[in-house]
Amino acid sequence: MPSPLTDSRYPIDNVAALIDVMHQDREYALRFRDHAEDHVTLRLRRQFYRAPPALVEDAFNEAFMNLLRSRTFKDEMFQQGRPASGWSAIELVTHVLGGYLFVSARHELNRHWRKHGTGDDPDDAAHEQDHYNPSDMLRDDSEHSDPARYVESVQLVRQVRLCMERLDADDRQALDMYLEQVPIRDIAHHLKEDREANMKTRLHRIRQRVIDCAKRRLR
């Protein structure tokens, strides 16, 4: 990952200029896309705990491409607070487009969920109150608009991911299955646990082990 000091910066004023820059600098384009993907999907997954990762990623991709194709995002948002040297890829996400992409992707996720989901989304009612209209959204006021807090939270998630990889095969499989929304009784059956309650205890211990490991690595 490039250092923020050497990361390219461009004085981007609108979506059309962003597209021109991405044509010109493919590395910048991919960095911007990847930062946006992690920023939006992690936030969505925290809110929609039961959404499968594939659905969350699809929702982000639709929102991202809609942004580039429609070019309806307000130009003044690129100009507010723009550093004299221009926007780096991560700043473009945390300062300018992250909030818009999040709202837009959440709308796509709700749409997918209704179309392909297994039932009502528990968060639906809250989302309906948002009166979806991302072009009206001026500023992302959440903690995700603060690059330092955002990077800190992503670091924790990355450490958790590394610690999940260190679990033994059965525990890793149990955790992956649970996070992919496989019912606990099915996980218990698959891993030959006698009772569902034992499987819950095991998952509880796995969670504690992974979080302790991540905290140790961050110290």
Partner 1 sequence: MTPSDDRIFAYLADELSLAERTAFETDLAREPALRQALDEWSTLAQANQLAYNERRRGVRHAEFLDALNALPRQSPTAAPRATRPRWLSWILGAPTGARRSPLLPMGWGFAALFAAIIAWPPPQDDFATTRGAAATCVQWSVDLPDGLDAATLRAVLTQYDVRLANGPDAAGHFALAAPRESTIREAIQALGATAIEALPAGACPVRTR
Please, which residue, 136 or 161, has the CB nearer to partner 1? 161
Q: Mention every residue, 6+ apart, whose C-beta is less than 8 A from residue 24.
A: none
Q: Mention every residue, 6+ apart, whose C-beta is less than 8 A from residue 53.
A: 41, 45, 180
Instruction: Identify which of 161, 176, 177, 181 has the alpha carbon closest to the alpha carbon of residue 113.
Output: 181
**Could you tell me which stretch among 95-103, 125-133, 138-146, 177-185 binds partner 1 (CB under 8 A)?**
177-185
Please, which residue, 136 or 219, has the CB nearer to partner 1? 219
Q: Write the single-letter amino acid at 6.
A: T
Kindly state whether residue 22 participates in binding partner 1, applying the rule CB under 8 A: yes
Kindly state whether residue 209 participates in binding partner 1, applying the rule CB under 8 A: no
Kindly state whether residue 19 participates in binding partner 1, applying the rule CB under 8 A: yes
**Residue 93 CB, nearest distance to partner 1 (Å)?**
14
Report d(CA 169, CA 180) in Å as an integer: 16
Please list, residue by residue across 139-173, b when 16 or more beta carbons sit within 10 angstroms of its beta carbon and e when fewer do.
Answer: ebeeebbebeebeebeeeeebbeebbeebeeebee
Residues forming the site for partner 1 (CB under 8 A)? 5-6, 8-13, 16-17, 19-30, 33-34, 37-38, 41-42, 45-46, 49-50, 53-54, 56-57, 61, 65, 68-69, 85-86, 122, 156-158, 160-161, 164, 175-176, 179-180, 183-184, 197, 200-201, 203-204, 207, 210-211
